[in-house]
């Protein structure tokens, strides 16, 4: 008997190849359509009769039934014909050998949001100029690092970009962020797996793509989806470029996105270069254009009572009132020249999309600017779209205009996250939350 997810009995399965057969965790046959959706489940009776007599299915539930074809584990079946095979693993390019990073822009100092303060305090944080190499997968020795002891993640083997993307999407939906989703394995993915394992007590095998796809199906669906560019997406507003000089920044009406691809990449938690490579030849400026993007799912929900900033791991961990780890994010935290503070502070206030004030007497000298400048809000602002002010003056947790560099570069003392991770954390936190820096 075939039963749909809604409980209806289905008496017909197309034989044209549009439906694949697989197994669920209970060993039952499931029928999956071209988008990876379960359309029916084979529900066995306690007994059935064949020419050899009755057979107790409860004692023989995993043996293939005679006359049925071998099951398939293909969870990336061909997409419907109107989209070609755009959602298959084989159609997603393998970009492991491409140059890392998104669109190159000059690195910028990071002032504190001026409108978040009434007492004239100004920021000390800023962009570092020295990129740090990513830590190799599994290289973090738990015994050498203070704070929580993380279960070591299984090294990721040779996987396609689509398979690594599925892993990144799963972690992102769970609230254990891998940073930008780019189809590439690296230290941010490894740290996210280890944090997820610590929080759940389970072991996640990053090489078991079938299991990961089954988990995705139960939490938001397959990792890829399509999106139609709207007239508002095409119109912006956008700015031609983001200047390096702070006086020129201050002259802009907003520090907006520079292109439709930058906006869409951030909306779908993607590396901008990966978005373009997944959609070769696509003009993102035309309304009605269908593009392939990441199916990111819903934001993590919860109430954060404590934030731990682990400098060695380059990761921010969020705990609830019971002390349970509920979220984790890759971060850039300080540098040897301008280290982050040590010890415990608290969240003072949270500002969404704030202005930013540059004061050379308090912060740093940027170019020839020797006077106070006010920079308007925007995702390309020096601290992105979020500022979580800490009780230690001039320090905070904030976003970034360069999400692809998170966890791989240094900061000037503050804690830098991707804009979407900073926004997720900000919505779960509140004034008074404890923030502990771990060396």
State yes or no: is 269 an active-site residue. Answer: no
Let me know if 414 is a catalytic residue: yes
**Residue-wise pLDDT tens digits, 80-137:** 333 333 333 333 333 333 333 333 333 333 444 543 333 333 343 333 333 333 333 3
Whether pLDDT at 14 is above 50: yes
| 215 closest CA partner among 25, 72, 40 | 25
pLDDT computed for residue 334 by the predictor: 66
Q: Which of 217, 248, 398, 412 is catalytic?
A: 398
Domains of the chain: 2-74 (no CATH), 75-439 (2.40.440.10)
Residue 4 has pLDDT above 70, yes or no: no
Alpha-carbon span 101 to 426, nearest angstrom: 26
Q: Is the pLDDT of residue 434 over 60?
A: yes
Q: In this predicted model, which residue has the larger pLDDT, 367 or 46? A: 367
Q: Which of 217, 248, 269, 414 is catalytic?
A: 414
- Predicted TM-score (pTM) of the model is 0.69
pLDDT tens digits, 314-348: 999 999 999 999 999 999 996 445 566 789 999 99
């Amino acid at each position: 008997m075939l039963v749909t997810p809604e409980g209806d009995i289905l008496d017909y399965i197309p034989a044209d190849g549009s439906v694949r057969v697989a197994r669920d965790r209970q060993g039952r046959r499931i029928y999956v359509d071209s988008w990876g959706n379960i359309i029916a489940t084979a529900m066995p009776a306690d007994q059935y009769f064949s020419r050899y007599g009755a057979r107790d299915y409860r004692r023989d539930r995993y043996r293939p039934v005679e006359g049925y074809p071998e099951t398939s584990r293909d969870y990336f079946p061909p997409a419907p014909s109107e989209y070609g095979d755009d959602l298959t693993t084989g159609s997603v390019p393998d970009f492991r050998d491409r140059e890392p990073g998104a669109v190159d822009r000059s690195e910028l100092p990071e002032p504190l949001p001026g409108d978040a303060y009434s007492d004239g305090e100004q920021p000390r944080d800023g962009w570092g100029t020295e990129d740090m190499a990513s830590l190799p997968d599994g290289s973090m020795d738990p015994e050498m690092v203070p704070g929580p002891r993380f279960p070591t993640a299984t090294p990721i083997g040779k996987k396609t970009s689509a398979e690594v993307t599925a892993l990144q999407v799963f972690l992102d939906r769970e609230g254990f962020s891998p940073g930008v989703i780019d189809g590439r394995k690296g230290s941010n993915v490894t740290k996210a797996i280890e944090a997820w394992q610590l929080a759940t007590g389970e072991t996640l095998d990053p090489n078991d793509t079938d299991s990961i796809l089954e988990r995705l199906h139960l939490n938001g669906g397959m990792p890829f989806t399509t999106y139609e560019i709207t007239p508002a997406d095409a119109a912006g507003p956008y700015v031609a470029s983001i200047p390096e000089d702070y006086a020129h920044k201050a002259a802009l009406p907003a520090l907006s996105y520079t292109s439709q691809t930058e906006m869409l990449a951030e909306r779908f938690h993607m590396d901008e270069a990966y978005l373009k490579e997944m959609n070769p030849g696509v003009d993102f400026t035309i309304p009605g254009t269908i593009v392939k993007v990441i199916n990111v799912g819903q934001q993590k929900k919860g109430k954060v009572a404590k934030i731990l900033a682990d400098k060695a791991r380059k990761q921010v961990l969020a705990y609830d009132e019971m002390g349970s780890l509920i979220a984790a994010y890759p971060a850039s935290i300080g540098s040897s020249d301008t280290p982050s503070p040590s010890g415990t502070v608290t969240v003072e206030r949270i500002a969404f999309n704030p202005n930013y004030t540059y004061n050379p007497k308090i912060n740093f000298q940027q170019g020839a600017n020797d006077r106070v400048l006010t920079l308007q809000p925007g995702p390309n602002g020096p601290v992105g779209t979020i500022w979580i002010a800490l009780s230690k003056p001039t320090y905070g947790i904030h976003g970034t205009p360069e999400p692809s560099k998170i966890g791989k570069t240094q900061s000037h003392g503050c804690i830098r996250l991707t804009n979407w991770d900073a926004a997720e954390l900000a919505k779960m936190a509140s004034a008074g939350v404890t923030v502990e820096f771990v060396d």
